[in-house]
Amino acid sequence: MNAFFEMIDRLNESFEAQRGEMERRILVSYQQEKAVLALDMSGFSLSVRRNGILSCLARIRRMQQLTAPLLHSMRQARGLSRHELARQCGVGPRFIYDLERGKPSLHFGKIHAVLLNLGLMAVILDAQMVRMALAAQSG
């Protein structure tokens, strides 16, 4: 999994001219065709079909890299140990450790509890609605 994340990190850091080659390398190494039936009311499937899965994975990875140090610094600013924060949030200390390290497979409900405890909020926005609001504001 680390090799995959390293390739996604390089993709995120690459210039536009290099992205195509980086995406090709990732797809050659990891792409597999599978059949999945999913009901998708969020538009994620359409976004993947339009932009490709690597675009989504790269955004998720960037979010992990930005969020993990923020949570760590907020916990320390409040003077809490991992054990203390875990107890306050009703999760185990290992969960806090994994969250601060950007582990990709954590339960969102537990993440939400930790964010609220630290005075943070997770906001899920519809990208199209945000673009429309910004366009209305500027024009």
What domains lie within the chain, and their CATH numbers? 63-138 (1.10.260.40)
Average pLDDT score over residue span 9-22: 90
Q: So what's the pLDDT on residue 116?
A: 81
Q: So what's the pLDDT on residue 101?
A: 84
Average pLDDT score over residue span 45-70: 80
CA distance 102 to 111: 11
**86 Cα distance to chain centroid:** 21
Per-residue pLDDT tens over the stretch 22-38: 999 998 998 877 766 55
116: left (phi over 0), alpha (psi -120 to 50) or beta: alpha
Question: In the structure, what pLDDT confidence band is assigned to residue 81 with cuts at 50, 70 and 90?
Answer: very high
Q: How many residues does the chain have?
A: 139
CA distance 26 to 117: 37
If we measure between CA atoms, which residue out of 109, 14, 120, 19 comes closest to residue 66?
120
The pLDDT > 90 percentage for the chain reads 23
Question: Does the structure show a pLDDT above 70 at 73?
Answer: yes
Average pLDDT score over residue span 81-91: 93
Q: Under 8 Å CB-to-CB from 109, ≥6 apart: which residues?
A: none
Q: So what's the pLDDT on residue 94?
A: 92
Question: In the structure, what pLDDT confidence band is assigned to residue 70 with cuts at 50, 70 and 90?
Answer: confident
The token pair that represents 55 in the structure block:
């675009």
CA distance 74 to 44: 30
Q: So what's the pLDDT on residue 82?
A: 94
pTM for the whole structure = 0.53
Question: Does the structure show a pLDDT above 90 at 61?
Answer: no
CA distance 38 to 13: 32
Return the higher-pLDDT residue of 39 and 112. 112
